[in-house]
């Protein structure tokens, strides 16, 4: 009986540690209504809770490449502790938001204009895809690889994404794999190709002067 008791205790502790890890994976709960940055002096008013960075979108020329405009913790300090952020996604014709993940949040995309081909891959390597039309919403589960693609050869697309974290994080697969200095041989073996191919991929991701 003593052995079973110790085993049960170990299993219970393991389960507790697992639950704690999951709980801590998202934004931490706060014990105040909001968090004021320590370097902000002189009190706050409504301006602190207002983000005006998206105003420029209305006056700017349409982008020629895919563009993301964010309202996250980095741009909008009032979001600290609020477990929410936004991004505006602008897709010129035939552009893509390359495969990427958000390690700290689910993404809920609302397509305002145009059409998009979207998809994600789950942990069983199953691909889920959909063609969205204006007015559609699509959810990308937390941490899974996903993408968006405007396949329309003539018309742009515009979407807004909401995140359940003030700092969802973005891990771009192309940049992470081929623009961070991982050894060419490691990548060549992993992708079952040769070093020359890996170097060509890396060169394609090198910023143009």
Residue 177 CA to residue 160 CA, distance in Å, equals 27
pLDDT value of residue 39: 87
| Two tokens, residue 16 | 């507790």
pLDDT in tens, the chain (209 residues): 454 345 344 444 444 444 344 444 568 888 899 999 988 888 899 999 999 999 999 888 999 999 999 999 999 999 999 999 999 999 999 999 999 999 999 999 999 999 999 999 999 999 999 999 999 999 999 999 999 999 999 999 999 999 999 999 999 999 999 999 999 999 999 999 999 999 999 999 887 66
Burial class for 75, CB neighbours closer than 10 Å (0-12, 13-18, 19+): middle
- The answer to whether 159 and 116 have CB atoms below 8 angstroms apart is yes
* Predicted TM-score (pTM) above 0.75: yes
Residue 51 CA to residue 70 CA, distance in Å, equals 10
pLDDT value of residue 126: 98
pLDDT value of residue 26: 66
Nearest one of 173, 155, 190, 191 to 98, comparing CA atoms: 173
Rounded (5°) CA angle 73-39-35: 50
What does the DSSP 8-state code read for residue 47?
G
pLDDT value of residue 88: 97
Nearest one of 78, 97, 82 to 159, comparing CA atoms: 97
Residue 46 CA to residue 54 CA, distance in Å, equals 17
Residue 21 CA to residue 25 CA, distance in Å, equals 6
């Amino acid at each position: 009986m003593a052995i079973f008791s110790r085993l049960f205790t170990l299993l219970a502790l393991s389960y507790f540690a697992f639950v704690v890890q999951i709980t801590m994976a998202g934004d931490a709960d706060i014990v105040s209504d909001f968090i004021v940055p320590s370097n902000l002096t002189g009190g706050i008013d409504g301006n602190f809770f207002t983000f005006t960075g998206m105003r420029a979108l209305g006056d700017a020329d349409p982008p020629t490449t895919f563009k993301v405009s964010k309202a996250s913790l980095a741009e909008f300090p009032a979001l600290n502790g609020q477990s929410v952020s936004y991004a505006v996604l602008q897709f010129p014709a035939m552009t893509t938001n390359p495969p990427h993940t958000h390690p700290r949040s689910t993404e809920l995309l609302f397509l305002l204009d145009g059409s998009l081909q979207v998809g994600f891959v789950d942990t069983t390597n199953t691909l889920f895809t959909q063609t969205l039309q204006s007015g559609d919403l699509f959810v990308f589960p937390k941490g899974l690889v996903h993408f968006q693609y405007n396949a329309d050869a003539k018309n742009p697309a515009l979407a807004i994404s909401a995140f359940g974290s003030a700092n969802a994080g973005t891990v771009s697969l192309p940049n992470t794999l081929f623009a961070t200095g991982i050894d060419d041989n490691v990548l060549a073996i992993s992708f079952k190709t040769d070093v020359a191919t890996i170097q060509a991929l890396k060169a394609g991701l090198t910023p143009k002067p």
